[in-house]
Amino acid sequence: MDLFLASASGNVFGYLWADEAKDSNGSNWAKILCPRSRGFGLDGLFLMQRPGTGPWILDHWDADGSKSFCSNGSRAALAIPGAPEGTLVEALSNGERILLRRDHRGVGIRLPEGETFGLRPVPMSTDLPAAFGWIGNPQLVLRVPSVAAVDLPAFAPPLRHHPAIPGGTNVNVVEVVAPGEAGIRSWERGVEGETLCCGTGCAVAAAWLARTEGPSEWRLHTAGGEDVSVTLVPEAGGGWHDLWLSGPVRRLGVAQPDPSLRPSPRP
């Protein structure tokens, strides 16, 4: 069985074809293959259906085995051998309808949109300007004077587990450095640590900054050093449409997990 590896804006993901992993579920595979020291040190794991006539079906699990929508991993999936060809690819990623686009910046993703997606009232009081949004997963964004000065391992966990947000949230800190340009760092639930780039966090941050600062196109400097771009059309009430996140993706190779790592079959 082949484990394909690809990265998007610094985050590394593993990919298995679902028909080759049919004797177990994605949660079990993620808990075995993702963790550092005893696994491959992945930011998440995808099971992919073979491309057919409808939207390409992807499912993602975090390292702790929890299932979550992941924009960067969905983008990087187009780098896997056997992925659908063409400039535009319709997909369902963890049930969310998305569109993937190959372009000069790498791969872009049009993120979920509609009545259930968008900026929402911040569910707790904060000392910093803040926004909260749902984009297939929850994102809390706080504006800070300097992202580099934030002690994220101390700052983020109380917010990630805040009782006002059942199930918790991803936590992002953002620093505006110029019109349409900002730095960002992210603490992701499921990974339970800082990642080099949270794509959905970047998208929600840009959607908020588009409302507070004006520009509808943002270049975000990530912790991994690879910039991503976000463009959108804001809607009344905090929603959006044509929210695109674009950035580099890379095919890293393929590994064959040792047979001892294979999960036990489902009963």
Q: Has residue 76 got a pLDDT over 60?
A: yes
Looking at the structure, do residues 30 and 128 belong to the same domain, yes or no? no
Domain boundaries, position 82: 3-111+250-259
**What are the CA-CA distances from residue 200 to residues 18, 53, 132, 172, 206 (Å)?**
25, 28, 12, 10, 10
194-244 per-position pLDDT tens digit:
999 999 999 999 999 999 998 899 999 999 888 999 999 999 889 999 999
Does the reported pTM lie above 0.85? yes
Looking at the structure, do residues 201 and 90 belong to the same domain, yes or no? no
Residue 267 in domain: no
Q: How many domains does the structure of the chain reveal? A: 2
In 3-state terms, what secondary structure has residue 213? helix
Q: Has residue 106 got a pLDDT over 80?
A: yes
Looking at the structure, do residues 170 and 226 belong to the same domain, yes or no? yes
CA–CA separation, 106 vs 174, rounded Å?
A: 23
Residue 134 in domain: yes
**What are the CA-CA distances from residue 250 to residues 8, 126, 232 (Å)?**
7, 38, 25
CA–CA separation, 174 vs 182, rounded Å?
A: 7
Q: Has residue 170 got a pLDDT over 70?
A: yes
Residue 51 in domain: yes
Residue 166 in domain: yes
- What is the predicted pLDDT for the residue at 99? 97
Q: Has residue 267 got a pLDDT over 60?
A: no
Looking at the structure, do residues 171 and 226 belong to the same domain, yes or no? yes
CATH code at position 230: 3.10.310.10
**How many residues are present in the chain?**
267
**Whose structure tokens read 């953002």?**
174
